[in-house]
Amino acid sequence: MSNGSNSHDLQQQSLDYHAGPHPGKLATAISKPCETQAELSLAYTPGVAAPVRAIADNPDNAYLYTGKGNLVAVISDGTAVLGLGNVGPLAGKPVMEGKAVLFKRFANVDVFDIEVAAESPEAFIDTVVRIAPTFGGINLEDIAAPHCFVIEKALRERLDIPVFHDDQHGTAIIIAAGLLNALELQGKTLGAARIVCLGAGAAGIASMRLLVALGARKENMMLVDRKGVIHAGRDDLNEYKQEFALNTERRTLADAMEGADVFIGVSGANLVAPEMVAAMAPRPVVFALSNPNPEIRPELARQARSDLIMATGRSDYPNQVNNVLGFPFIFRGALDVRASTINTEMQIAAVNALRALAHEPVPADVLRAYGTESLAFGPEYIIPKPFDRRLIEYVPPAVARAAIESGVARVGYPEHYPRHDGI
């Protein structure tokens, strides 16, 4: 069967999946009994007046008497949906519903997906601020750069609940965790590594910023966009690209990759030639993360360099960089201590938790889920698998501890979390 036929079959299966037996992937559920007149009088009038008064007296009581504390808004304007571009908010709704499914499936976080028809970043910001009292956290999704930076910054400043743009920080966290483990295996350090990032949008900028926070040196980092290397001589750079502009004579992607220790691709398919990989430093790390088709296929990269460690965004190759390893568990930890934000300390805690889990022996149920007999920390296993049930045991507690230690938590370390020294 041809690839075209396989693609058509997958599209039809997806349409059938989303259409039946009920349209969409989400529904609401009642969480309290409401079978008798007495229960109805508690759920609504007259009994509901009691929690209303309690919340009016103290807004924090909303966390006790409503679902706010476990409810996240997944919000998009539809300007950068997957690899499909600006398809608009309504067409982006299946993706937002899918995100909600992942929140619930992996971390039992409830979600309302909200698609906003906003004519400007300011209109989008105003809409989110007005509806924010409903939620315990805001997950921004599929918003094009550079507006995504403006929107997230404004919302973080104006709201006292976590605001997290997953396309930025979720991607950055998983990249950082995998990269640190890959560098360890290659006998290299982040501080000394020369890093090339192809793609200067939300994921690229956020990843470079997080790597700097973890110890990478800006002078060793080269960002590349559609026009080539981002260098100090260019006059077409926005403020976010300018942050990583270098004084360099290198101009092309090939120039940038010569002698590089690390390549990170968050751009598009088939943009890296085997010759570029061959020109990298000994024991290179290649993260070709464009989906569904990477910047270079692993088969071609390995033909060019047998000493590399490779990751992609795909599930059919080893080392999948998948945001589902991050955002459900990061929000779980943030919500459980009622954090006012998700700060850099919490993001680094998530990175280190994911790194540590990849070093642990892999349980049999994970092996069964992925149809393999063995997985162990090494070149083809540098980050955990999404169906590893231990993610909920590693990441939320680490995020919660970081929130407490950095002063952004409003309640203490949850009793059901594992205990650690100092907590």
Kindly give, in sequence order, each residue whose CB lies less than 8 Å from that of residue 137, ignoring residues fewer than 6 positions away: 71, 72, 73, 161, 162, 163, 164, 331, 334, 335
DSSP code string of 206-242: HHHHHHHHHT--GGGEEEEETTEE-BTT-S---HHHH
pLDDT band at 2 (very low <50, low <70, confident <90, very high): low
For the chain, what is the domain count? Answer: 2
| Average pLDDT in the chain | 95
Model-level pTM?
Answer: 0.94
DSSP category for residue 81: B
261 domain-assigned: no
Q: Does the N-terminal peptide bond of residue 21 adopt cis geometry, omega within 30 degrees of 0?
A: yes
CB 346 within 8 A of CB 333: yes
Residue 195 inside a domain? The answer is no
Supply the residues annotated as catalytic.
44, 99
User: What are 97-127's pLDDT values in tens digits?
Assistant: 999 999 999 999 999 999 999 999 999 999 9
Going by C-alpha positions, the residue among 324, 315, 355 that lies closest to residue 109 is 324
pLDDT at 249: 95
Of the candidates 144, 161, 178, which is a domain's last residue?
A: 161
The verdict on residue 135 lying in a domain is: yes
The reported pLDDT for the residue numbered 1 is 43
Q: Domain of 125: which CATH number?
A: 3.40.50.10380
Instruction: Evaluate whether residue 207 is within a structural domain.
Output: no
Taking the C-alpha atoms of residue 204 and residue 237, their distance in angstroms, rounded to an integer, is: 15
Domain range for 109 is 3-30+67-161
Residue 40 in domain: no
Render pLDDT for 216-260 as a digit per residue (tens, 0 to 9).
999 999 999 999 999 999 999 999 999 999 999 999 999 999 999
Q: Is position 79 within any domain?
A: yes
- pLDDT tens, position by position, 155-182: 999 999 999 999 999 999 999 999 999 9
Q: Is 30 helix (H, G, I), strand (E, B) or coil?
A: coil
**pLDDT for 6:** 73
Q: Average pLDDT, stretch 317-328?
A: 96
Closest to 334 in 3D by CA, of 345, 321, 318, 323 = 345
- Evaluate whether residue 42 is within a structural domain: no
Answer whether residue 188 is part of any domain: no
- What pLDDT was estimated at residue 82? 85
